[in-house]
Structures are given as C-alpha cells and as structure tokens.
Amino acid sequence: MKTLIILAHPSEDSFNKAISDEVKQHLEFKKHEVKIRDLYKLNFDPILREDNYTSFYQNKLPKDIKVEQDYITWAENLVIIFPTWWNGMPAILKGYIDRVFTNGFAFRFTKGESEGLLKEKKAVVFQTTGQSENVIKPNQLVSSMETVIDVGILDYCGLNVITHKFYFSVQHINKEAREDMLKEVNGIVDIL
Ligand SMILES: Cc1cc2nc3c(=O)[nH]c(=O)nc-3n(C[C@H](O)[C@H](O)[C@H](O)COP(=O)(O)O)c2cc1C
C-alpha cells in the first residue's frame, strides 16, 4: 500500500506531529510505502493567485502544484492531519486544497455536473481540538466540520473517507491519555 500523509502543523513538538510520526512508523512496520507532505516544512504557498486562478479553469498547472498532484496520484491512501483553527482547518491546508485539488485533477465539472476523480483512494482524517467535546459537540461544530471536510471536499473529489477522528482538548490531557490516543491512531490506520 502507498500512503501519503499530509500534515498541517507548524510545530515539531505538537500532538499533530506525534500523530504523523505514529502513523508513519506503524504503516512502515506494516510494509506500507509512506511519504509525507509537511506543509509548513515545505513552506507551501497556500495563496491561489491570479495566474493560478486562471490556470484552475484551464488546467495549466504551476510547477509546485504538479509536484503535489503527482504525490496524490502516487498514493492509494491519504492521511490528513491538522489542528482545529477557528472551527476549521489551518489556512495552509485550505490553500493546499484550493490550489492542488483542481478541476480536471480532483474533480471534473462539466455542464453543471461534477464527478470526483480521486475515486480509487481512501482518506483518513485526524483533527485535534483545544476545546472539549462537551463544548464543541452541542454547538454542532463537529458535525459542521465533518460535513464540510468529508462531504464537501473529500467525498466531492471521489475519496472514500474511512474515518474522520477528532481528538479533543489535546493540550489539556495528561501523558497517559495522549499515549492512549496514539495507540488508537494505530488501530485506525490498520484498516488501510
Ligand atoms: C489560530 C488558532 C485557532 C484555534 N481555534 C480553535 C477552535 O476554533 N476550536 C478549538 O477547539 N481549538 C482551537 N484552537 C486550539 C487548537 O486546536 C489546539 O491547540 C490544537 O488542536 C492542539 O494540538 P497540537 O498540540 O498538535 O497543537 C486554535 C488554536 C489556534 C493557534
């Protein structure tokens, strides 16, 4: 199996980075080929500028976007890891999707109909939060993020979303609870 990890967190000491390391280690142990696109380390430019905007509709791709699309083409699975920032994903990841998931690559939109083009691939999403589940869930914030990300983006592009796992209040939990979460991460990616 070929798995691409897309990580959107600026800190090496973050729990998000720990999830990414855990996924990589576990899947490599299971003989997956694993590649990582660490968007901050890559200094990925998330801004869809005028030239890129024009190319979005013409399928003439900037070089940096073609590189990212080749990674996605290579992968059978995408594992997307990010913290919740303002009840959504960090801007760098949103910009990655804006620029990389282009018409003609991730989906095809013709005559008012759209078709996902990443059909054969599976996706697993790990998303951390600062707030507790008790605060976030009653406000429908979890379900709204699941709808936007899983349905509005990934499923729209044809990806088969296996799990969208939230880890709540991660800055406020102890070492043991974090270790339990990381063990659970292994169990989740075992289905890939
Ligand atoms: C700019 C910014 C916005 C944030 N917005 C939210 C939010 O809307 N909801 C929430 O639960 N936590 C929010 N947080 C907290 C992060 O989600 C939390 O610090 C992160 O998930 C912890 O994981 P980490 O240790 O890997 O950074 C925000 C943090 C930052 C820096």
Instruction: Give 98-133 pLDDT, tens digit per residue.
Output: 999 998 899 998 888 899 999 999 999 999 999 999
The model's confidence at residue 161, banded by pLDDT at 50, 70 and 90, is very high
How far is residue 53's CA from residue 163's CA, in Å, rounded to a whole number? 31
CATH no. for 2-189:
3.40.50.360
Ligand 1 atom closest to Cα of 11? 27
Is 57 a residue whose pLDDT tops 90?
no
Instruction: With beta carbons less than 8 A apart as the criterion, state whether 68 and 37 touch.
Output: yes
The model's confidence at residue 141, banded by pLDDT at 50, 70 and 90, is very high
How far is residue 23's CA from residue 43's CA, in Å, rounded to a whole number? 22
- Residue 79: Cβ within 10 Å count: 28
Whether the CB of 7 sits within 6 Å of ligand 1: no
How far is residue 47's CA from residue 56's CA, in Å, rounded to a whole number? 13
Is 55 a residue whose pLDDT tops 80?
no
Instruction: With beta carbons less than 8 A apart as the criterion, state whether 97 and 82 touch.
Output: no
| Average pLDDT value for residue range 3-26 | 98
CA 132 from centre of chain: 22
In the chain, what percentage of residues exceed pLDDT 70?
97
Is 93 a residue whose pLDDT tops 80?
yes
120-153 burial: b if 16+ Cβ within 10 Å, else e: ebbbbbbbbbeeeeeebeeeebbeebbeebbeeb
| Average pLDDT value for residue range 74-99 | 98
Say what the pLDDT of residue 118 is.
98
Whether the CB of 140 sits within 6 Å of ligand 1: no
Whether the CB of 127 sits within 6 Å of ligand 1: no
Whether the CB of 126 sits within 6 Å of ligand 1: no
List, as own/partner pairs, every contact residues 62-71 make where C-beta atoms lie below 8 angstroms and the sequence separation is at least 24, other chains included. Answer: 62/99, 65/99, 65/100, 65/102, 68/37, 68/44, 68/96, 68/99, 68/100, 69/100, 69/102, 69/105, 71/4, 71/35, 71/37
How far is residue 149's CA from residue 108's CA, in Å, rounded to a whole number? 18
Is 19 a residue whose pLDDT tops 90?
yes
Return mean pLDDT, the chain.
94
C-alpha 135 – ligand 1 centre gap (Å): 14
Whether the CB of 170 sits within 6 Å of ligand 1: yes
Ligand 1 atom closest to Cα of 86? 8
Is 52 a residue whose pLDDT tops 80?
no
C-alpha 70 – ligand 1 centre gap (Å): 30
Ligand 1 atom closest to Cα of 19? 26
Q: In a mutational test of the pocket of ligand 1, which residue from 9, 81, 84 has the highest number of ligand atoms less than 8 Å from its CB?
A: 84
C-alpha 127 – ligand 1 centre gap (Å): 10
Ligand 1 atom closest to Cα of 131? 11
| Average pLDDT value for residue range 25-40 | 97
Say what the pLDDT of residue 140 is.
93
Question: What predicted TM-score, i.e. pTM, was given to this entire model?
Answer: 0.96
Domain ranges of the chain: 2-189
Give SS3 for 34: strand
